[in-house]
Structure 1
Amino acid sequence: MNAPRRTSKLAVVGAGAVGSTLAYAALARGTARTVALMDVNRTKVEAEVLDLRHGGMFVPQAEVLGSDDVEVCRDADVVVVTAGAKQRPGQSRLDLAEATIALTRKILPGLVEVAPDATFVFVTNPVDVVTYAAQKFSGLPPQRVFGSGTVLDSSRLRQAIAEHCGVATANVHAYIAGEHGDSEIALWSSARIAGLPLLEWKALPGRPELDAAARDAIARDVVRSAYRVIEGKGATNYAIGLAATRIVEAVLNDEHRVMPVSTRIDDFYGITDVCLSVPTVVESAGATTTVDIPLSDEELDGLRASAEHVRAVQSRFGL
């Protein structure tokens, strides 16, 4: 009865735009009792931590730590890796692969040593290839090493559908699957608006139809949206910070929430040995079970093509 109360610890590796925003979002939402930020740039990480601490009276109680030493991540329950090469305007996520895989190989052993029981969530792009590499480098069970995948892309899709149809985003249930990148696909056949199959949706008064042309335009916009943000401000950070924080909460709170995270696929509609985003149960044990969501023939062809696209990059780097 007098045992100390178990508290949660989130470690964020990388204090750049994404990592620092993630730490801020986690503090604002009360995600973890301790938030630790690690970065090789000691001056930068110490300044970020100081800034976050100064807002302590306005958020749920939490301890904020920061260092360039991996020890700051010790005993973390969840480690989110955001460190990696920065995506430049016009550069695809897959162009980032070589430098980021090398960095992952370098830093992961130390992180596993100080946080051997943690769940590792990779946000660094290209997230599918990096996640596959991290699973091999870490030696941990695959369910404890997964990527943020298309959680953000699915949020973009739902927001775009909601705006087009004139409903709240919370009333839209739809997923982006496949690569977190140019070959990703929208799963229209299983999408719902307020429980109604999206393909049966009738436009509200004064709203345009959600026909094939509109759906194609929305899907293209989702694929291009990150590039537009990067062209305008140099990086995406707010939405991915919130998305990653929501994934962390699903782990820490053992929510069994279905999310399209990037996981190792084993015979999903015949697709295997590649990390892709499909609806997956996220709980305290990690990303545990993929959901065999129904796919149209066109969607299945697209998912297989996306898998081959990612697998080709894996092979290029000996993975």
Structure 2
Amino acid sequence: MFSQRKVGIIGAGHVGSHCALSLILQGVCDEIVFVDVDKNKAQSQAFDCMDTVAFLPHRVKVKKGEIKDLKEMDIIVISVGTIDNISKNRLSELKGSLSMIKSFVPDVMKVGFKGYFIVITNPVDIVTYFVQQLSGLPHNHVIGTGTGLDSARLRRALSTKLNIDAKSIQAYMLGEHGDSQMGVFSQATINGMKLNDFLEKTEKKIDLDEVENIVAKAGWEIYSGKKSTEFGIACVCTDIIRAIYSDEKKIMACSGYLQGHYGQDGIYTGVPVIIGKHGIEKVLELELNEKESSKFNKTIEIIKKHIDIGDKILEETVCINF
């Protein structure tokens, strides 16, 4: 299906560059094209990435490009944007993010792109929705990173509390990649054993509400110390891309399009999905208890509210030229 695995990255900042590096080091693709309004930065990132190739067992080509060069890409990563470090709320980034995607998504489609968009730009669930709207691509071809990183952070937090390797923990955060995200602790397992049963058998006690809050605030905690978050999200992005190229049928959390799932319809949000060569091939529904259902519905309402706000923003937006 993919003769030469080609990935475009729009946005050559901290996140975009580390997505490229992760893809390169793991040998997931054969070619990467950086596109950015700052063409010098895109070129420098390409050169810096190419300097790693001499140390690798595989060959990767990395270069700077223009929108027209994205026609032949299989997958395009959208990693544009700036962090609002004043309000510390990803939702406040909506206006700027929508201005950016409106400036290039239609142009990408005009040159003939027919692949997959992987959206990282925040607020990612809402931006993913509008990338699909602006592109007209099938919903399963537009994938947001969603709560993929949050679910990894949940496993890290539980690992620390339980003194258990994170790879032995299966647990998901659902909903908005933001403050309202929620943990599905009722379905969390430790190598097949329900979390509650594991806690009972090991006589360990943890405050699950505290864990949920730690995960929701983890991004800002990292940002406060280094003014960026980049490594974890790059791995999430790489996992999605590898799953598409290798047709892995991988189950992971990301922004998937709900069509009656969880009683919701017509929006993207963080849920577990199966990813393969056709993109999101199936949205999986976890059984939520009453408390979890209430929290999930609240996070969905926040996303819906900001989709309405986004519609108005796009009507008034003056685009940035890429």
* TM-score calculated relative to the size of structure 2: 0.92
- Following the alignment from structure 1 to structure 2, what is the Cα–Cα distance between the partners of residues 20 and 87? 20
Q: Kindly state the Cα deviation for residue 66 of structure 1 after the two structures are TM-superposed.
A: 2.7
Of the three residues 53, 64, 68, the one matched with 1:67 is 64
What secondary structure is seen at the aligned counterpart in 1 of 2:69?
Answer: helix
2:123 is the counterpart of 1:126: yes
The letter for the 1-side match of 2:268 is C
* TM-score calculated relative to the size of structure 1: 0.93
- Following the alignment from structure 1 to structure 2, what is the Cα–Cα distance between the partners of residues 73 and 116? 7
Q: Structure 1 vs Structure 2: percent identity of aligned residues?
A: 26
Matched residue, 1:234: 227
Change (3 A) 1:59 1:82: same
- Following the alignment from structure 1 to structure 2, what is the Cα–Cα distance between the partners of residues 187 and 115? 40
- Following the alignment from structure 2 to structure 1, what is the Cα–Cα distance between the partners of residues 88 and 162? 32
Change (3 A) 1:72 1:42: same
Q: Kindly state the Cα deviation for residue 69 of structure 1 after the two structures are TM-superposed.
A: 1.2
- Following the alignment from structure 1 to structure 2, what is the Cα–Cα distance between the partners of residues 77 and 7? 9
Of the three residues 196, 201, 225, the one matched with 2:193 is 196
- Following the alignment from structure 1 to structure 2, what is the Cα–Cα distance between the partners of residues 202 and 295? 19
Asked whether the equivalents of residues 250 and 276 of structure 2 are also in contact (C-alpha less than 8 Å), the reply is yes
Change (3 A) 1:186 1:286: same
2:25 is the counterpart of 1:32: no
2:50 is the counterpart of 1:53: yes
Matched residue, 2:287: 294
The letter for the 1-side match of 2:48 is D
Of the three residues 241, 260, 269, the one matched with 1:267 is 260
Asked whether the equivalents of residues 37 and 72 of structure 1 are also in contact (C-alpha less than 8 Å), the reply is no
Deviations 1:62-101 (Å, cap 9, x if unpaired)? 3333325113323111111001233325421000001111
What secondary structure is seen at the aligned counterpart in 2 of 1:50?
Answer: helix
Structure 2 counterparts to residues 80-99 of structure 1, below 5 A:
80-99=77-96
Deviations 1:100-146 (Å, cap 9, x if unpaired)? 11211111022223452211110000001101111111111111012
Contiguous gaps of at least 5 residues in structure 2: 313-322
What secondary structure is seen at the aligned counterpart in 2 of 1:317?
Answer: helix
- Following the alignment from structure 2 to structure 1, what is the Cα–Cα distance between the partners of residues 112 and 225? 37
What secondary structure is seen at the aligned counterpart in 2 of 1:318?
Answer: helix
Change (3 A) 1:185 1:115: farther
Q: Kindly state the Cα deviation for residue 193 of structure 1 after the two structures are TM-superposed.
A: 0.2
- With 19-28 and 111-120 compared, the bigger mean Cα shift is at 111-120
**Count of aligned pairs between the two proteins:** 312
Q: Kindly state the Cα deviation for residue 203 of structure 1 after the two structures are TM-superposed.
A: 6.8
RMSD (CA atoms)? 1.8
The letter for the 2-side match of 1:209 is K
What secondary structure is seen at the aligned counterpart in 2 of 1:278?
Answer: strand
Change (3 A) 1:227 1:115: farther
The letter for the 1-side match of 2:255 is S
Matched residue, 1:277: 270
Of the three residues 305, 312, 318, the one matched with 2:298 is 305
Q: Kindly state the Cα deviation for residue 209 of structure 1 after the two structures are TM-superposed.
A: 1.8
The letter for the 2-side match of 1:292 is E
Matched residue, 2:180: 183
- Following the alignment from structure 2 to structure 1, what is the Cα–Cα distance between the partners of residues 307 and 65? 30
- Following the alignment from structure 2 to structure 1, what is the Cα–Cα distance between the partners of residues 45 and 33? 11
The letter for the 2-side match of 1:14 is G
Contiguous gaps of at least 5 residues in structure 1: none
